[in-house]
Amino acid sequence: MNWLRNPAHARWLESETDALLGFASGSMTEEGFGYLDSDGELVASEGSHLWGTCRMIHTFALGALLGRPGAATMVDHGLRALQAHFHDDEHGGWFAQVGPDGVMDDTKMAYAHAFVILAAASATAAGRTGGRELLDEALATSLTRFWREDDGMVVESWDAEFTELEDYRGVNANMHTVEAYLAAADVTGDDVWLERAIRITKRVVDDFARGSSWRIPEHFDSRWGHLPDYNMDHPSDAFRPAGATVGHWFEWSRLALHGRSALEARGRTPEGWMLEGARELFELGVREGWDVDGADGFVYTVDFEGQPLVRERMHWVVTEAIGAAAALYRATGEEHVEAWYQLWWEYAAVHLIDEESGSWIHELDAENEPSATVWTGKPDIYHAIQATLIPRLPLAPVLAPALARGLLDT
């Protein structure tokens, strides 16, 4: 049985979408959306993170486009919070973290600003008031503060005044910028954002990954020189872990396929590296990430010889593997890819999905027992909800614009 062609499986995915939206509805705070613990209760000390609030706006915009009552109200709340609490009216951009008493972290991060673009694009696709104005400002901020034309990449982070730029350069921030720019291209109709997304993807996939046996280097200095030993003294960092991050191989595989399909949708012929790189990254993720230490699941990171570094299993890695499998199958029709898709959903159902709450356990240890080495609680539905939708949508346009155009498989 091919699940990706099965209407019953599509209905099951739909039920998982609704369960995730229901769980996330408890994350609303005065300042945006907060951080949920394992029981779905707000963690007051975390306040509201920019990346988390924007991911919630994006996911509730998807819910609104799916016709889920209440989701549009959540989107509108998030948009107001971005303006009232996160926006820096003096220097521009958005603060990284806020709470009831004001700004908790005034850093201006490319990673979080990419999610402002994604949230605004999805809100615009959902027809929410203020979405397009936010999108225009977020794109202008990205272009003037983070994008570097000579590099074809974005820089990492600034201080609040945009006067001190961090020397570090990271692939993670660029990956989510690609996601955001693809959405912006589809929503605005301006293909300059598609061109920038593909420039970033080409450098990461066809240069960095190809030159490192497809194990994507993540950490660089200000001149884009690789830092292979970065964070080796703190290998399990949630955003900048040491070594190579298996889940990102799947994420870049899917993004390359989105970009490839976007070109084809515009009557343009994509370069061969896009499909080649997507396949290579997917297959490497299977070989070096899945079931490599005697238990099912993906290890979090490996070294540059392909040996496991951090063996904890992150929920988001499985969701990205599922999304990449669905995308690669849609692009190629290769049956072995669909078999992996089935196996990873089976694993998620057995080990990660909490049927009682509708949420996903965010982290397991090497024996597939709940853990909190890298992530505590359940702050995020973004990865999981996209895994329920990518199998039912075309590769181009991307998620929210595709839903707005009625392209969901049923």
Q: For residue 302, what are the contacts with CB-CB under 8 A and spacing of at least 6?
A: 215, 243, 244, 246, 288, 289, 308, 309
Cβ neighbours for 255, distance < 8 A, ≥ 6 positions apart? 175, 178, 179, 182, 197, 201
Give 35's Cβ-side CA count (13 Å radius).
Answer: 16
For the chain, state the CA radius of gyration: 19
- Which of 9, 248, 258, 362 is flagged as catalytic? 248
Q: Which two three-digit tokens encode residue 245?
A: 């991050």
CA distance 248 to 240: 12
Residue found under tokens 């899945």: 290
**Residue keyed to tokens 């016709």:** 67
Residue 271 DSSP symbol: P
Residue type, 304: F
Helix (H) or strand (E) holding 259, with range, is helix 246-265
Give which of 267, 257, 387 is closest to 315, Cα–Cα.
387
CB atoms within 10 A of CB 133: 13
248 is catalytic: yes
For residue 264, CA distances in Å to 217, 246, 259 come to 29, 28, 9
113 has catalytic annotation: no
The helix/strand/coil state of 187 is helix
C-alpha torsion sign, points 349, 43, 382, 168: negative
- DSSP class of residue 270 equals P
C-alpha to C-alpha distance for 120 and 118, rounded to whole angstroms: 5
Residue 351 to residue 231: CA distance in whole angstroms? 29
Q: Transcribe 194-241 into DSSP letters.
A: HHHHHHHHIIIIIIIIGGGTT----EE-TT--B-TTTTTTSTT-SSS-
How far apart are the C-alpha atoms of 334 and 279, rounded to whole Å? 11
Residues involved in catalysis: 248, 383
